[in-house]
């Protein structure tokens, strides 16, 4: 789960931020972002081939938080 979330949070999502795109130059922003994000999703699909069930990481829905009963 951590590998998947790290890939999305660090390898795909930031590439669409304006501050990142400004570093590329205005004329190349769209092409660069599309190529980089496509590579990120291709990597994600490779990971999900070995982890996916009904959901990305199996057949059960999970929460990152645990609830305690008081």
31 against 65, higher pLDDT: 31
User: CB-based contacts of 51: which residues, under 8 Å, 6+ apart?
Assistant: 4, 57, 58
Reading the block at residue 30, the tokens are 């769209």
Closest-CA residue to 42 (of 11, 65, 14, 64): 11
10-50: pLDDT as tens digits: 888 877 788 888 888 889 998 998 998 999 999 999 999 98
pLDDT exceeds 60 at position 52: yes
End-to-end CA distance of the chain: 29
């Amino acid at each position: 789960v951590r590998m998947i979330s790290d890939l999305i949070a660090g390898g795909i999502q930031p590439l669409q931020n304006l501050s990142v795109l400004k570093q590329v130059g205005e004329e190349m922003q769209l092409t660069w972002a599309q190529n980089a994000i496509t590579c990120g999703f291709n990597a994600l699909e490779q990971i999900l081939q070995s982890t996916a069930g009904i959901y990305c990481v199996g057949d059960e829905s999970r929460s990152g938080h645990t609830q305690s009963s008081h």
